[in-house]
Structures are given as C-alpha cells and as structure tokens.
Amino acid sequence: MNAILADPERRKLVASLGMNMLTRVPSLLLVLVLLPRILSGLGAHGYAALFAALAVGTLGVFLMGGASVLGMRRIGAAASEGDRRAEATAFVSLAAANGTLTTMLMVVIIGAELAPAAKPVSTTSVLRIGALQADDGARAACPGCVADG
C-alpha cells in the first residue's frame, strides 16, 4: 500500500477516486431514505404522478437545452466575427425562444392540472422547468449583451 501512495500522482488518483465515491453518498441516502418516505406519504398513485410530472419537466428542459445550444452557436459565430449587433440579436432570440418554450410547456402542464382528474403533484414539473433553464451558458458566452445590474 505504501508503494502505491509513494507517488504523488497516484496519491492524487486515490484522493480523486475517494472524493468521487463520497459524492455518491447523498444519492444513496436519497434512494434508501427519502424515496421510501415519499412513497409512503403519497401512496403508489401519487408517487407515480410525481415521477410522471418530473418526466414532463425534464422533457421541457431538453427542449430548452437544444434551443440553448443553437443560440450559443449563433452567439459564438457572431462573436468570432466581431459583430456585436448580431451577438446581441442572437442573445435576445435565445431568450425569446426559451421564454416561448417555457410558456408553452407551462400552459400544457397547468391545463393538465386544471383537468378534473388531475392531482396537484403535476406542478412539480413546472418547478423543474423553471429551475433548470439553461440560459446561463449563453449569458456567459455573451457578457457584453447583458447589462450588469
């Protein structure tokens, strides 16, 4: 064991692997402790509705992620050409696309929520969409396009 830890690069590797394993502990606790409590609190039907709502929210995040990639490409292309006006236009277009997608998905989810057989758990998907919007990367790609405030 001492031979393995004698080399500084191997010590870094062992430390990295150890930290990687420690980052798995919260996920393990979630699966072993929190999810069974949620299941017992919501019941099987409510639990299934919760995860269906999370799936719809994740679908919305994937849609916005695709729009963000295209928007960042447009921003990057304009920035590489030094065209600040096109860069700002691409940023505004990206924000509008994300806003439109978010609004459309929220209308669908809230409409489903208002249906007579709906459970209040489906609002979880709206929270997931709002929390995971991916426009920060675009903001970082175009720092001059956003006024510091």
Radius of gyration of the chain (CA): 22
Measure the CA–CA gap between 24 and 53, rounded to whole angstroms.
25
> What token pair was written down for 17?
């692997």
Cβ–Cβ < 8 Å for 124, 53: yes
Alpha-carbon separation of residue 68 from 23, 48, 58, 62 (angstroms):
28, 30, 15, 10
> What token pair was written down for 122?
């489906």
Measure the CA–CA gap between 24 and 31, rounded to whole angstroms.
11
Q: Is the pLDDT of residue 45 over 50?
A: yes
Is pTM beyond 0.95 here? Answer: no
> What token pair was written down for 62?
């994937």
Q: What local confidence, expressed as pLDDT, does residue 85 receive?
A: 93
Query: 134 pLDDT band (50/70/90 cuts)?
Result: very low
Q: Model confidence over 79-130: pLDDT tens digits?
A: 899 999 999 998 898 888 888 877 887 787 777 777 766 555 555 555 555 4
3-state SS class at 87: helix
The whole-chain average pLDDT of the chain stands at: 75
Measure the CA–CA gap between 90 and 106, rounded to whole angstroms.
24
